[in-house]
Amino acid sequence: MIELLLLLLPVAAASGWYTARRGMSRKKQKQQPQIAPVYFKGLNYLLNEQPDKAIDLFIELLDVDSDTVETHLALGNLFRRRGEVDRAIRIHQNLIARPSLNREQRAQALLELGQDYMRAGLFDRAENLFLELTELKIYNEQAYIYLLEIYQQEKEWQRCLDVADKISVSHFPSLPNAVAHFYCELAEQMLSQQNISAAEGYLKRAQQVQRNNVRALLLQAEIDYTRGDCRSVVKLLQQVEENEPIYLSEVLPRLVECYKQLGRQHELFEYLQQLYQRHHCTEAMMILSEMIVEKEGESAAVDAMLRHLEEAPDLKGLERLVRLNLQRSEESPKEALEVLLVSVMKLLEKQPAYQCDHCGFTAKKLHWQCPSCKRWGEIKPQQGLTRSIKANAVT
């Protein structure tokens, strides 16, 4: 209540002053103007915790003209930022209803009201206002950006692409990345309908917009895998490693499977060794440790995992180390190792597998668009224990 009082007192003061000034002008009073009684009525509403009545009263006092439009806009914007969307909507609707507004003032009020509707989840109403602005050709760049946000919320990917064509990259630097993901979304829709040809067409467009887009490479690799074209899968997944090694955890299981289907296990061992030398990736070491057991025995695998954990501490690597020791352990320490293994597995269950590099949102599965900040391609697999956790939301 105190915050609202502090917010509205300047408006009330301006209202009282403005009303008194207009009354003095009309009556040509020479004496000092008296503050309008309605001003005290508004304050009384505030003090009696009736803010809605106070707001209505002060809005009526502020006649809409060139001197007060900015006051209305600022007050509505302030309410929206405070989360009081209903009040913001009332102020901006009151403003738009006035016939005295010029073309630019009306457009500005429409833009603000559209944002109010978006904040309230009334996307249809917001869309209509923003489309009106694009027809007026004023504030149309901002209107297109808000339309893009609405269509993403509604998963209207073709509409997203249509709007994106009308937005300048200088106003939206991350637009090419977003557009590539729009094409990937359409490709996934086509794959769900078994329309492989259309899906590949969208993936090619995604690569044209953003070369070596990880999501497009992964989707194309899955298409080629269903065809049995393991050579193409290996080539595509190696491109992911070359451009975005952070996604190795998403790539390695399928890559290992294709190497084995091609009968190239020896090449796989050498490739994983090179991969580990380049990135010190836990996932690569875990696969290598299994192959080392077959080639050199469990002790060699334990030594390799110990060296890895010294350089890059990681719960997954620790779990693998405990399992290796269990395989070669005697009965006495085996019980303690089993307890340790259970503890590590519980810690792994609580640890989020993915984190947004922009806002810190954490998740158990990969989202290509962050549910929190709505950015595309910012959620990445977590690596080791060194990455900071900026948020606690886990889905």
Query: Where is the binding site for Fe cation, in residues?
Result: 356, 359, 370, 373
Report the DSSP pairing between strands 362-363 and 379-381: unpaired
* Angle in degrees, 0-180, between the axes of helices 214-227 and 248-261, rounded to the nearest 10: 20
53 CB burial (10 A radius; 0-12, 13-18, 19+): middle
Helix (H, G, I), strand (E, B), or coil: what is residue 369? Answer: strand
Please give the annotated binding residues, written as ranges.
Answer: 356, 359, 370, 373
Token digits of residue 330: 């005697």
Distance CA 237, CA 214 (A): 9
Token digits of residue 55: 């707001």
Q: Which of these, 221, 211, 274, 282, lies nearest to 251 by C-alpha position?
A: 221
Q: Do residues 359 and 380 lie in contact, with contact meaning Cβ atoms separated by under 8 Å? A: no
Helix (H, G, I), strand (E, B), or coil: what is residue 376? Answer: strand
How much of the chain is helix, strand and coil, in % rounded to 5? 70, 5, 25
Work out the number of other CB atoms within 10 angstroms of the CB of residue 85.
20
Q: Do residues 33 and 23 lie in contact, with contact meaning Cβ atoms separated by under 8 Å? A: yes
Torsion of CA 225, 209, 383, 234, to 10 degrees: 30
How many distinct helices (H) and strands (E) make up the chain?
A: 19, 3
Q: Do residues 237 and 221 lie in contact, with contact meaning Cβ atoms separated by under 8 Å? A: yes
Angstrom CA distances, 340 to 77, 119, 310, 313, stand at: 56, 49, 18, 16
